[in-house]
Amino acid sequence: MTAGIAGLGLIGGSFVKAYAKEGHRVLATNRSRQVLDFAILSGDVSEELTTVNVSECDVVIVCLYPEAAVSFLEKFGPYIGKKPVVLDACGTKRVVVEGCSKLAAKYGFTYVGGHPMAGTQYSGYKYARANMFSGAPMVLVPGDLSDIELLAHVKEVLAPAGFGKFTVTTAEKHDKMIAFTSQLAHVVSNAYVKSPSSKDHKGISAGSYKDLTRVAWLNPEMWAELFLENSDNLSAELGGLICELEKYKDAIDRGDRETLIDLLAEGKRMKEEADGR
């Protein structure tokens, strides 16, 4: 199999290493030539992905910011052809799926939106791992949710990454859910560490602090773009959270033990229900 990867950050680099580890030919392109040269020198990438060889790929995975992903396909679209399946790996789906679907229709290539549900708080090729996606969920956003043959083919060409589960959904549902499961968590974590107390936490913090602040260490440019592209859903989630936090603050300020117990018990029950316990 030949895999084409656009973007050699954490996600793109992990795709590169996963396919290379399984013995597949990997073509890649990256904004920074230095990173691409390193990937070629390391043996993970066979050669640069270009408009000349992109049609040789079985799968092309675009691991760029949403706007950059659309721009990439505007450039490469006329040269992709019928053979490759093109996926993006962007964290929001409505904007990128709309833009890429139009280009797929214009140039005649096959496109499916995608979002690998894996990663770390770090960014860059040096943190990429061949097993990054092992057992992780992969969200697919096809133009036709009932195209079983296409979805089966997508799973086949993604097999070297080792995903554990595939979820097929719409761009709208994806963005609504990701606002809650990912984006809200990043905002809360990033805001949480702005407390003056964070400067003095060493020696008086443990798992709770580490769990809540892990994703505060983020890529500001990327997450700002993702937040704004999904601003309607994320703003709604933030509004709901602020409303809930006000209830806790009010109960604490009033010394209202019973209300506080009820709020905590409600949160525990909803967590149990969400986890299927």
* Nearest to 86, CA basis, from 77, 95, 78: 77
Helix (H) or strand (E) holding 2: strand 2-6
Residues of the chain with CATH 1.10.3660.10: 174-274
Choices 2.70.70.10, 3.30.2130.10, 3.40.50.720, 3.50.50.60: CATH for 2-169: 3.40.50.720
Q: Residue 200: is its pLDDT beyond 80?
A: no
Residues 6 or more apart whose Cβ sits within 8 Å of residue 171: 93, 94, 97, 98, 113, 141
Residues of the chain with CATH 3.40.50.720: 2-169
Pairing state between β 110-116 and 137-141: antiparallel
Rounded Cα–Cα distance for residues 119 and 136 (Å): 10
Beta bridge partners of 116: 138
* Distances in whole angstroms, Cα of residue 199 to Cα of each of 42, 194, 195, 202: 40, 9, 8, 8
Residue count of the chain: 277
14 pLDDT tier (thresholds 50, 70, 90): very high
Q: Residue 44: is its pLDDT beyond 80?
A: yes
Quote the tokens at residue 269. Answer: 């029950």
Residue pair 95/228 in contact by the 8 Å Cβ criterion = no
144 backbone dihedrals φ, ψ, rounded to 5°: -120, 110
pLDDT at 69: 96
Looking at every residue in the chain, the average pLDDT score rounds to 95
- pTM summary value: 0.90
Choices 2.40.10.410, 3.40.630.30, 1.10.3660.10, 2.60.40.2470: CATH for 174-274: 1.10.3660.10
Residue pair 85/57 in contact by the 8 Å Cβ criterion = no
Burial class (CB in 10 A: 0-12, 13-18, 19+), 211: exposed
pLDDT at 275: 87
Rounded Cα–Cα distance for residues 223 and 177 (Å): 16
Task: Give residue-wise pLDDT tens across range 127-175.
Answer: 999 999 999 999 999 999 989 999 999 999 999 999 999 999 999 999 9
120 pLDDT tier (thresholds 50, 70, 90): confident
pLDDT at 207: 83
| Stretch among 30-39, 66-75, 134-143, 213-222 having the lowest mean pLDDT | 213-222
Q: Residue 190: is its pLDDT beyond 80?
A: yes
202 pLDDT tier (thresholds 50, 70, 90): confident
194 pLDDT tier (thresholds 50, 70, 90): very high
Q: pLDDT > 70: what percent of the chain?
A: 100
The residue-averaged pLDDT of 65-78 equals 96
Q: Residue 177: is its pLDDT beyond 80?
A: yes
Tokens 């033990």 identify what position?
A: 257
Residues 6 or more apart whose Cβ sits within 8 Å of residue 101: 111, 143
pLDDT at 276: 81
